[in-house]
């Protein structure tokens, strides 16, 4: 049996992952990243919960603190992008740089005998002996699948990764927590994306970028002023709520104009797009293909996959032609592609959507 570290956030998923590995006979070590004070995922409050679970399981636990690095590498780029009207996925970068990057480096420094790092992600990992690559598949519970957030991981990172919950339903995980006596965690609500946007979104933006909360105009693409917005960071492309009434049309956010502090809106039929331009492509389960691929694309973490063709270009760029037009998502969003077996092929950063 192996010595395995488990990234413990103080939540039910990572706690059950640790318990499952321990039950399999592995020597388990709990480790918690402290990244943001008051965070819904990696705060100092979570450290106390994770440490208590580790004590209950009878395993070692230690803390790794990286508040300054997290602010400079994740929070500040996210804030800057949102002020420009972009919609990046900070969890994607956090997984690459911190949860399977810095965390693993620090673990190896503390205990070189640890051979793997497990997490509570709902995704499945498989080694393909023919290609000699680690392959990521969607989690068995489609409502909790988190493979979308793992598309930037490298093969070297996946070589020592484990996802013990990948084949389980969330209800099963809560039942296992209850059986272990982790009653409080069994009923604890799931953490959400943007775990550092706390205690509320308004509080976060007033503290980090109050200029993004200045009211301004909501302007129709035809040039007419539709109303007033309450701060441009509250709006993302494709959004419908928060636009006010007074129009016979059903309007959606087309984009944000940071220079004029305006939110642009239009009816659905004016916003549908079928052509996507992607950058920073990372291939996960397969090497970069030479031919055009027919894939299933997810344009949001909980989005419904849509089919289309992917054509790889130079410099880690790609062009996507969707079979059916799609409502807009913001520049900077992750677009992740799968094959028909729910295998995560790779992903990229959206740079443009066109009709």
Within a 13 Å sphere around the CA of 93, how many CA atoms are in the beta-carbon half?
Answer: 18
207: number of Cβ within 10 Å: 8
Residue 291: phi and psi, rounded to 5, are -115, 170
Find, among 316, 238, 228, the residue nearest to 278 by Cα.
316
| Active-site residue, from 41, 42, 91, 195 | 195
> How far does Cα 115 stand from its chain's mean position?
25
94 is catalytic: yes
| Active-site residue, from 41, 91, 94, 295 | 94
Residues noted as catalytic: 94, 195
């Amino acid at each position: 049996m192996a010595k395995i570290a488990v990234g413990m956030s103080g939540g039910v998923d990572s706690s059950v992952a640790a318990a499952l590995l321990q039950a399999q006979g592995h020597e388990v070590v709990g480790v918690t990243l402290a990244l943001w004070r008051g965070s819904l995922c990696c705060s100092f409050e979570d450290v106390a919960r994770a440490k208590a679970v580790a004590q209950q399981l009878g395993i070692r636990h230690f803390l790794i603190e990286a508040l300054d690095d997290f602010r400079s590498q994740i929070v500040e780029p996210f804030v800057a992008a949102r002020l420009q009207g972009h919609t990046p996925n900070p969890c994607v970068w956090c997984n690459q740089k911190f949860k399977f990057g810095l965390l693993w480096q620090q673990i190896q420094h503390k205990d070189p005998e640890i051979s793997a790092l497990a997490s509570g992600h709902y995704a499945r990992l498989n080694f393909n002996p023919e290609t000699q690559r680690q392959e990521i598949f969607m989690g068995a519970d489609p409502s909790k699948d988190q493979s979308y957030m793992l598309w930037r991981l490298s093969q070297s990172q996946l070589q020592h990764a484990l996802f013990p919950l990948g084949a389980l339903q969330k209800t099963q995980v809560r039942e296992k927590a209850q059986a272990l006596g982790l009653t409080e965690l069994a009923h604890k609500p799931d953490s959400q994306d943007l775990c550092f946007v706390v205690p509320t979104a308004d509080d976060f933006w007033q503290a980090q970028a109050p200029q993004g909360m200045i009211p301004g105009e909501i302007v129709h693409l035809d040039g007419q002023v539709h109303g007033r917005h309450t701060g441009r960071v509250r709006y993302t492309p494709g959004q419908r709520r928060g636009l006010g009434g007074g129009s016979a049309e059903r309007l959606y956010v087309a984009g944000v104009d940071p220079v004029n502090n305006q939110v642009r809106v239009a009816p659905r039929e004016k916003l549908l797009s079928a052509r996507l331009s992607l950058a920073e492509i990372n291939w996960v389960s397969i090497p970069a293909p030479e031919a055009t691929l027919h894939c299933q694309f997810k344009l949001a973490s909980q989005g419904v996959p849509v089919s289309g063709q992917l054509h790889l270009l130079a410099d880690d760029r790609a062009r996507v032609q969707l079979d059916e037009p799609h409502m807009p998502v913001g520049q900077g969003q992750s677009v992740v592609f799968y094959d028909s077996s729910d295998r995560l092929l790779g992903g990229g950063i959206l740079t443009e959507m066109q009709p």
